[in-house]
Structure 1
Amino acid sequence: MGCGNSKVPLEASKKGYVGVVQSLVAFSKAHNDRPCDEPKKCLEKQRGAWFSTGVKSHQQTSNSQQLILRDGRQRDKAAKYKDKFDPRVTARYDIKALIGRGSFSRVVRVEHRATRQPFAIKMMELEAPEGREVCASELAVLQRVSHTNMIQLIEVFQFPQRVYMVLELATGGELLDRVVSRGHFTERDATQALRMVLAGVRYLHNLGVTHRDLKPENLLYYHPGADSRLLITDFGLATFGGTGPELIDNNTTDEGDRTGTERSWSLRTTCGTPEYLAPEVLLRRPYSCAVDMWALGVITYIVLSGSMPFEDDSRTRLYRSILRGKYSFHGDPWPSVSNLAKDFIQRLLALDSATRLTADQAICHSWVVTMAASSSTRNLHRSISQNLRQRASRSSSRCPSSTTSSCDVGCPGK
């Protein structure tokens, strides 16, 4: 359900686009029979990666067996953590499986004992000061948001050592799971998904909230049906700040400066996922909710092509590319992608945050408004899948441990 966020130091690992590798390892092994250096670690991390649904169609038997084994492991882990849950929580909810973990949290799938309705519970540890700050920040945001394209907080159990957040359980898979599994994908399909994301982001920004960790892994469909709504999840790095009509003018805050004339609050903390970081964050300059719009530009690029605009095994070179705004529209499927779609991406990936599209402006962009009516109806699915597969084939043989853990840039207290 997208709430197992882990806030770890920048040096700890690499994630983002690399997440697709984890889900394509099994596909590459099925075709190339190349064993991974760490097979156990790879197997355990395939869940929750970009490509899990698409890969399933290629190896149903193998994946079915893996799912059975994985479900058994999850139940074992759930039983292990069940003892840590307060009896007042387990009296109301039946713990079913562990589905995620973070530095200060565990996320389990549960079932309401009376209604049998499934939910997710995020258990936050409060012993460490950092854990208390992270919990307070995330809870403050979740208690304020209520939107059809946001994961919803159902109820909260608060105790001295732990907080239990009961959340909606999104079962429809990640955004790119849906792109790949449907077998046919056009620019019109892309705009349908992006309109839901933009609606959610506009709501957040108008509320004065900056998400700071938008990426495909945090965009989940509520259910598997074609009419499912797309949800923005994982508010572990979200904070009040950036811009918004509800912000109160003041001189300074712990996080940044507020300017009364512009009614803006400049954030300062460096956090997020490396491949999606906006230039102003890397430069450690005060920033606004425009960083979310940069991330949406990266997401749009990925959704339309299956590749990343900024990618490099070296963090230094990756950040240098971002700071230069160095990306291209070369290779498939870009020759068949409309100029309007490319213009939309370029306006989001503007180095100057002041010229970057806001959420309101992005929703009104011609490509989004017309739902790509003037664009080619070419099926982009093959190119997207091929680009993802090529990236996986280059990385599956080494399967380093760095690709199997979270790499969100540490953001203590936020």
Structure 2
Amino acid sequence: MLGAGTYGIVREADGPTGKVAIKVILKKNVKGNEQMVYDELELLQTLQHDHIVRFVDWFESRDKYYIVTELATGGELFDRICEQGRFTEKDASQTIKQVLTAVDYLHNNNVVHRDLKPENLLYLTKEADSDLVLADFGIAKMLDSKDEVLTTMAGSFGYAAPEVMLKKGHGKPVDMWSMGVITYTLLCGYSPFRSENLQDLIEECTAARVVFHDRYWKDVSDDAKDFIMGLLQPKPEDRWTSEEAMKHKWLSGENATDHNLLPEIKAFMAKARLRRGIELVKLTNRIEALKMQEEDPENSDMPTSAPPEIAQPVLAQSEGTPSSDSGSGNITGKQRLTNAVKGAIFREVVLAKVREMKQQEEVRKEVGKQESAAKE
């Protein structure tokens, strides 16, 4: 299993011409919203760009949809960067340029991605010169006209534009805001907006309080900061379009520095953010796998490495064994599985929350130290 999301999981598989990625969507999870799946399929089939994941095929069974795309084996953007021994501002400018060319292509075709974030930026291969591709078009929308306004919630916490969080209606500018957050984070290892709850985050974003802390930004060019500020404009009408951003001189790398960003990235919030991200991804994967296992135990997408405490109730169900820890003999394997699933999910949520709180406390202490040092 490669990953999990709200509606299903993504698995690696062997296709006629090589390995592919298959997004498995439970029909039960999208009941009443089937058009959303068909919209994604239609959209994927129209997109052809070097920096957008390529559509291969699709099919469906009685209870699932399967969307097949090319397999990106090179890893997520930030994982790949942290594996390198060196990552400079020039590298960052060329990385962002690849993503922006994909976004510009989408916008020129009246498509809004609506969920740009590092997790959706994947390297096709493990080769050093691998292309970076944009993936996950589950909530992308093709606009009927260039002025169409979208009103449904979209985006991910920390990357969603102010107009999305305020439910004011949105369009292409939301992708440009996300590009600003990604660029900022790529250059220093932490987000420009660090509030932990929605209301505080909205206030922080609408006030445009973007701070370039000297310790982490003193070796980054003014061009980079100007590029970021052009994207992180609270009002969508003031925000650069993809076409305007593509013309910015920072993307040429001409004035970008050769300063290695990795030490700063690894020394500050990157480790905490990455640990937190990894834990949340693991939690999501396990919860979604548990849900899918309960839905279809005989044709399960549960990873083979599932822990014994999860796998055992599944086995009990498939054998039709009644629960032995109950006072009655009429409790079925299905009921045992349901209780096990609920218990496993609850344990995972509690453990993840404890780890997250510890990491947040570490981050707050570090931020406090840096702010105190800056005042001195």
> Normalization by structure 2: what TM-score?
0.70
Query: Would you say 1:134 and 2:36 are equivalent positions?
Result: yes
1:125, 1:131 within 8 Å by CA — same for their partners in 2?
no
Query: Would you say 1:277 and 2:277 are equivalent positions?
Result: no
Query: Would you say 1:125 and 2:52 are equivalent positions?
Result: no
Which residue matches 2:222?
339
Residue aligned with 1:120, SS: strand
Q: Quick check: 215-224 or 138-147, which moved more?
A: 138-147
Q: CA 1:107 to 1:376, structure 2 compared with 1: closer, same or farther past 3 Å?
A: closer
By how many angstroms is 1:359 displaced? Answer: 0.9
Which residue matches 2:272?
391
Residue aligned with 2:12, SS: strand
Q: CA 1:102 to 1:224, structure 2 compared with 1: closer, same or farther past 3 Å?
A: same
Q: CA 1:348 to 1:403, structure 2 compared with 1: closer, same or farther past 3 Å?
A: farther
* C-alpha distance in 2 between matches for 1:196 and 1:361: 15
Q: CA 1:339 to 1:403, structure 2 compared with 1: closer, same or farther past 3 Å?
A: farther
Q: Quick check: 160-169 or 215-224, which moved more?
A: 160-169
Which of residues 153, 163, 172 in structure 1 aligns to 2:55?
153
Q: Which 5+ residue runs of structure 1 have no aligned equivalent?
A: 1-97, 242-246, 249-262, 407-414
Query: Would you say 1:297 and 2:297 are equivalent positions?
Result: no
Q: CA 1:211 to 1:165, structure 2 compared with 1: closer, same or farther past 3 Å?
A: same
* C-alpha distance in 1 between matches for 2:5 and 2:181: 24
Which residue matches 1:375?
256
Structure with larger Rg: 2
By how many angstroms is 1:130 displaced? Answer: 4.6
Deviations 1:322-365 (A, max 9, x none): 12112200143211111110000000001121121111111110
> Normalization by structure 1: what TM-score?
0.64
* C-alpha distance in 2 between matches for 1:206 and 1:301: 25
By how many angstroms is 1:402 displaced? Answer: 10
Query: Would you say 1:200 and 2:83 are equivalent positions?
Result: no
2:27, 2:63 within 8 Å by CA — same for their partners in 1?
yes
Which residue matches 1:214?
116
Which residue matches 1:349?
232
Q: CA 1:158 to 1:290, structure 2 compared with 1: closer, same or farther past 3 Å?
A: same
* C-alpha distance in 2 between matches for 1:225 and 1:337: 27
* C-alpha distance in 2 between matches for 1:345 and 1:141: 29
1:126, 1:163 within 8 Å by CA — same for their partners in 2?
yes
Identity %: 36
Which residue matches 2:76?
174
Q: Return the structure number with greater helix share.
A: 2
Which residue matches 2:139?
237
Which residue matches 2:191?
308
Q: CA 1:215 to 1:392, structure 2 compared with 1: closer, same or farther past 3 Å?
A: closer
Q: Tell me: higher relative CO, structure 1 or 2? Use CA pairs within 8 A at least 6 residues apart.
A: 1
2:190, 2:269 within 8 Å by CA — same for their partners in 1?
yes
The one-letter code matched in structure 2 to 1:178 is R
2:4, 2:284 within 8 Å by CA — same for their partners in 1?
no
**Aligned pairs, number:** 283
- Give runs of ≥4 in structure 1 deviating > 3 Å: 158-161, 388-393, 399-406
The one-letter code matched in structure 2 to 1:119 is V
By how many angstroms is 1:387 displaced? Answer: 1.8
